[in-house]
Structure 1
Amino acid sequence: MAEALILGPADPAYADTVRALNRRFTGKPDEVHRVYDTGQVVAAVARAVRTGRRIAVRGGGHCYEGFVADPEVSLLLDPSGLASVEWDAARGAFAIGAGATLGAVYRALFKNWGVTVPGGSCHSVGVGGHFTGGGYGVLSRRHGLTVDHLHAVEVVVVGADGQVRAVVATDDPADPHHDLWWAHTGGGGGTFGVVTRFWLRSGGTSPETALPAPPAEVWLHAVTWPWASLDRDGFDRLLDNFGSWHERHAASDDPYAGLAAALLVPTRAAAGISLRTTMDATAPDAEQLLRAFVAEVGAGVTPAGPMTRDSGKIAALPEAAAPRRLRWQWANQLAAGSDLGLRAKYKSAFLRRGFTPAQRAAIRASLEYAHPDAQLQLDSFGGAINDVAPEATAYPHRDSVLKAQWQVYWADPADDDRHLAWIRSSYRAVFADRGGVPVADAQLDGCYVNYPDVDLSDPDWNTSATSWTELYFGANYARLQQVKAHWDPTDTFRHAQSVRLP
């Protein structure tokens, strides 16, 4: 096993290690510890505690906010050396290092055992943050969230006496560490300790059955409704059709459980509204179901054309006006994502029902913005995700049908204020009757902790009576606070939106 490597600002590898995907944030820690085993993590955390250094962990670098790049962080852990994907026969589960990326996990699981996890589409995302926040992807309507397959987790924690140790917590309710496992099923990263390893299992005790197998083949379909062809009625109908379809097909036993779609709604500076769909090609009547879905979404709207290839961050899949049937592993690779070196801001909401007329009007008005790399993205939700009780995992959003994400990307720091003002005002306008945020009710259900947004903590942008903690965690927050008090009583692991001590 390699020895831990400690980097300082003068080392050539330092700059790439502290740089985040979102170029708005770059950390300046005194030390970066690249670790290769749990013992080295224990030693690094003990060093931070002993010397009074603030500590944070950077996995794939995809944190949407500056939590890891906080100027107060002076010791940064780089877990990229903890990247193994192995079958652990003793536990009957897959052991996955917390420094692995999603792409590496997908490749190893499928190539060696023919299985997968229902994680996200961007392959450079680190599993450490992705898994602990819930983990969602195109297979989630069929197979649930990644945390629904979490069997155990190894965490380096700090006791009230300052002693540092590694603990393994499992899904067994009789495990005295069970509450620590539960907190990592959606409680978010950077709160309770340093995760070093996950064990995943949801099926049998052999590697070929322990996790779900992906479909052998999928249909891909992508089309665009050009802005020139969309009047106000067409715009409203398109969003309403997409929302109402998902309301009707949210059950896990629905014939469409194998379908995942994204409706990409960019500003008018882009080409138009695009629909990107993946469908399990092995399901009965899959192609007919796919074509019927596309027809229902576009019903009453000017016919769409091939999905265009806009430049910039908001890019489309290859044109697929006619469905394309591909092997799953090839389709999975098409949406692998890349680091384009841009600045960005994101916001989110869960929808139990589609947007109201007033919300659609606010969205439509916000799209009169002369910047092509800004959009609202609506993703399919529901299915097997909603078969789990909201209190069974720390992740509480178990009855939504859509996940909404506002995004804006740009390159020049001089444009920060302009683009931040657009996304903040656009989001607030949609939820104006709720204090500017998606307060849970019959239609909405808060925000996704894996899409952190510091504005939810800012009274200038969240004027509701609902705190950011409730928007992320719902009724589960009080239990998360108790876990925090037990496992991190000194608040060693913290950031701007980590779980607070009671």
Structure 2
Amino acid sequence: MRRRSVLTGTAVAIAATALEGGPLTTAATAASATTDADAVTVLPSDPRYADLVIGNNTRWVAQPDSVRLVRTTEQVVRAVQEAVDGNKRISVRSGGHCYADFVFNSTVRVVIDTSLLDTVAYDEKLNAFEIGAGSTLLHVYDSLFKGWGITIPGGMCYSVGAGGHISGGGYGMLSRRHGLTVDHLYAVEVVVVDASGKARSVVATREADDPNRDLWWAHTGGGGGNFGVITRYWFRSPGATGTDPASLLPKPPKEVLVSAVALPWSELDKDSFTSLVQKFGAWHEKNGAADSSAASLCSFLMMNHKSNGSIGLLTQIDATVPDAEKVLDDFLSEVTSALSDNAVRPMSEPVGELSALPDLFTPQRLPWLHSVKLLGTSNPTLTNPSLRGHHKSAYLRKNVTGAQAAAMYQHLTRTDHENAASMVVLLSYGGKINSVGSGDTASAQRDSIFKGLFQSFWSSAADDDANIGWVRDVYGEVFSATGGYPVPGAATDGCYINYPDADITNTKVNTTGVPWSTLYYKGNYPRLQQVKAAYDPRNTFRHSQSIALPDHT
């Protein structure tokens, strides 16, 4: 743990690297050259290679000429320059959790792996917290909290890498209270390639007079792998004043109340299931404002296929807010009001992506960091390295209709597809998230009340068609009124780039006539294209769903 200086460990060379066009202009020093000698290049003959060319979704595998594990910004600059000079296609890995093939695909010749860029430290010069692009979320939470009693409102999954998570917007269980992760982003360092083919590092801040401010904006929801290689972020909340590090970012709850209950399929029929789903949505319609007394409550309704045995409801609330126990109890009572008492049971078996959590049937009061570790690591889908997956997402501005709930029920109870890890998950949204303008950050969806995640996990390639087909079926029917996707409109507001959908660019599946770019970015896409033209005019950084140059679709 490094408290007050970035000039320790791997951060030595990062801080010494020449940073062009941003607030820092120090030249590279001998320290960077010394640390730079520790770069790791992994070739196909290396026993480490197989582990570094595949991510958490084993559908996607690459066969690059090399993997470059970088420890400094200077190493990134050199690796990018060598790839450009050799006309080799680049992809960038942080934590390896990308749902789609952005990192690992057949065209990639050089994978730049940033997982060793894992510094978390306070930077006195910028009066902000530096987070390396390779830092995992649990490392970030643990370091910020133990060092300064603060946090960022990021995701629950412990091993997700900061590089992609933050650039796509970043969302988690504290977001209704504190906003998206990027709402606290002060600066980003990116290695870019100019029109002449020269690689360089740029630091971009949110300061109004920063000539690179648009590059900062593009990383507040534009997604990873679009503009360059992110090496580190800096965080300081808007409006934070003074130089006391402990006052620059949100303080997490001292304690949280955490509840997990199972709702057995044996106790559910179509009507009670529909009631459950609609009451979950109705609660979020009533409690979506940032000043709501329930803004500190976050809940996930995890609806696995009937073959799993149960549906799950995981809920957390800041235990220190007034009447926290009553707010939680009222929420649980309202959502499950149409079910019998026997239909609410301990979560004694895995539900959603989570393992069994029977001790949370009676809500438990836990120190915040304990809850983060408990929920973040109780996830078998993250710790199983053999799983394949297919995923789709939706932002919902209004409650689901009875027809939409019925479509979920139909596909979750199908007998021709029985995979306990096929599921629909509804996730709390709104609150402080929606107090930011749609164009203030690249994260355009700023008035939704909850989100949907439609997904399936499986182990064998032989089961690809069945599972991909099931996800397409349930998602397409739920959003059939708008052509099979949640087109931005009165009730829905597109898709989440951090839950990338491998089908979204396929016009045979996405038959809406609405471009994938609109579904992800809405009206922010043209501005993202202008940033692309300014910082990646050669389209060096690209993948199957990357931001296109302005003269391309």
Q: Distance in 1 between matches of 2:486 and 2:524?
A: 17
**Structure-to-structure mapping, 1:11-26, within 5 angstroms:** 11-26=46-61
Deviation for aligned residue 1:317: 3.2
Aligned to 1:501: 549
| 2:155 is the counterpart of 1:120 | yes
Q: Which amino acid aligns with 1:428?
A: G
Deviation for aligned residue 1:274: 1.4
Q: Which amino acid aligns with 1:420?
A: I
Within the candidate set 290, 299, 307, 2:347 is matched to 307
| 2:281 is the counterpart of 1:246 | no
Aligned to 1:461: 509
| 2:343 is the counterpart of 1:295 | no
**420 and 35 in structure 1: CA distance in 2 versus 1, 3 angstrom threshold:** same
Other structure's SS at 2:302 match: strand
Aligned to 2:183: 148
- Superposition RMSD in Å: 1.2
Q: Distance in 1 between matches of 2:272 and 2:405?
A: 12
Deviation for aligned residue 1:191: 0.4
Within the candidate set 389, 400, 405, 1:344 is matched to 389
| Kept after mapping to 1: 8 A contact 2:310/2:351 | no
Aligned to 2:12: none
Q: Distance in 1 between matches of 2:264 and 2:353?
A: 19
Other structure's SS at 1:244 match: helix
Residue deviations 1:158-202 (CA, integer Å, cap 9, x gap): 000111110100001211000000000000000001111100000
User: Could you list the runs of 5+ residues in structure 1 that have no partner in the other structure?
Assistant: none
| Kept after mapping to 2: 8 A contact 1:33/1:78 | yes
**Structure-to-structure mapping, 1:188-227, within 5 angstroms:** 188-202=223-237, 203-204=240-241, 205-227=243-265
Deviation for aligned residue 1:311: 7.8
Q: Which amino acid aligns with 1:445?
A: D
**Structure-to-structure mapping, 1:233-272, within 5 angstroms:** 233-272=271-310
Deviation for aligned residue 1:451: 0.5
Aligned to 1:406: 454
Aligned to 1:397: 445
Q: Which amino acid aligns with 2:357?
A: L
| Kept after mapping to 2: 8 A contact 1:234/1:302 | no
Q: Distance in 2 between matches of 1:490 and 1:19?
A: 27
Deviation for aligned residue 1:339: 2.4
Structure 1 stretches of 4+ with a deviation exceeding 6 A read none
Q: Distance in 2 between matches of 1:261 and 1:317?
A: 15
Within the candidate set 359, 373, 384, 2:421 is matched to 373
Other structure's SS at 1:326 match: strand
Within the candidate set 292, 314, 322, 1:284 is matched to 322
Residue deviations 1:255-284 (CA, integer Å, cap 9, x gap): 111110000111110122211100100101
Aligned to 1:385: 433
TM-score, normalised on structure 2? 0.89
Other structure's SS at 2:262 match: strand
**Please, which moves more after superposition, 361-370 or 47-56?**
361-370
**318 and 8 in structure 1: CA distance in 2 versus 1, 3 angstrom threshold:** farther
**Please, which moves more after superposition, 138-147 or 63-72?**
63-72
Deviation for aligned residue 1:226: 1.0
Residue deviations 1:397-423 (CA, integer Å, cap 9, x gap): 100000100121111111111111111
| Kept after mapping to 1: 8 A contact 2:483/2:511 | yes
Deviation for aligned residue 1:307: 1.8
Q: Which amino acid aligns with 1:230?
A: L
| Kept after mapping to 2: 8 A contact 1:265/1:375 | yes
| Kept after mapping to 2: 8 A contact 1:317/1:334 | no
| Kept after mapping to 2: 8 A contact 1:192/1:484 | yes
| 2:144 is the counterpart of 1:104 | no
| Kept after mapping to 1: 8 A contact 2:118/2:131 | yes
Aligned to 2:402: 357
Q: Distance in 2 between matches of 1:330 and 1:314?
A: 16
Q: Distance in 2 between matches of 1:82 and 1:273?
A: 39
| Kept after mapping to 2: 8 A contact 1:313/1:340 | no
Q: Distance in 1 between matches of 2:122 and 2:38?
A: 24
Q: Distance in 2 between matches of 1:12 and 1:207?
A: 42
Aligned to 2:123: 88
Q: Distance in 1 between matches of 2:101 and 2:356?
A: 28
Q: Which amino acid aligns with 2:247?
A: T
Residue deviations 1:438-497 (CA, integer Å, cap 9, x gap): 001111000000011121111111111211100000100010001001110000000000
Other structure's SS at 1:450 match: coil
| Kept after mapping to 2: 8 A contact 1:56/1:75 | yes
**237 and 138 in structure 1: CA distance in 2 versus 1, 3 angstrom threshold:** same
| 2:482 is the counterpart of 1:434 | yes
Aligned to 2:360: 320
| Kept after mapping to 2: 8 A contact 1:258/1:280 | yes
Q: Which amino acid aligns with 2:309?
A: A
Deviation for aligned residue 1:313: 4.9
Q: Which amino acid aligns with 2:260?
A: A
Q: Which amino acid aligns with 2:533?
A: A
Q: Distance in 2 between matches of 1:318 and 1:10?
A: 46
Deviation for aligned residue 1:316: 4.1
**Please, which moves more after superposition, 318-327 or 177-186?**
318-327
Deviation for aligned residue 1:94: 0.2
Q: Distance in 2 between matches of 1:320 and 1:102?
A: 23
| Kept after mapping to 1: 8 A contact 2:302/2:351 | no
Other structure's SS at 1:454 match: coil
Q: Which amino acid aligns with 1:116?
A: T
**Please, which moves more after superposition, 180-189 or 1-10?**
1-10
Deviation for aligned residue 1:319: 3.6
| Kept after mapping to 2: 8 A contact 1:271/1:308 | no
**28 and 473 in structure 1: CA distance in 2 versus 1, 3 angstrom threshold:** same
User: Could you list the runs of 5+ residues in structure 2 that have no partner in the other structure?
Assistant: 1-34
| Kept after mapping to 2: 8 A contact 1:313/1:409 | no
Deviation for aligned residue 1:314: 4.9
Deviation for aligned residue 1:223: 1.0
Within the candidate set 518, 532, 538, 1:490 is matched to 538
Aligned to 2:374: 334
| Kept after mapping to 1: 8 A contact 2:150/2:249 | yes
**95 and 13 in structure 1: CA distance in 2 versus 1, 3 angstrom threshold:** same
TM-score, normalised on structure 1? 0.98
Q: Distance in 2 between matches of 1:222 and 1:103?
A: 21
Deviation for aligned residue 1:308: 2.9
| Kept after mapping to 2: 8 A contact 1:223/1:319 | no
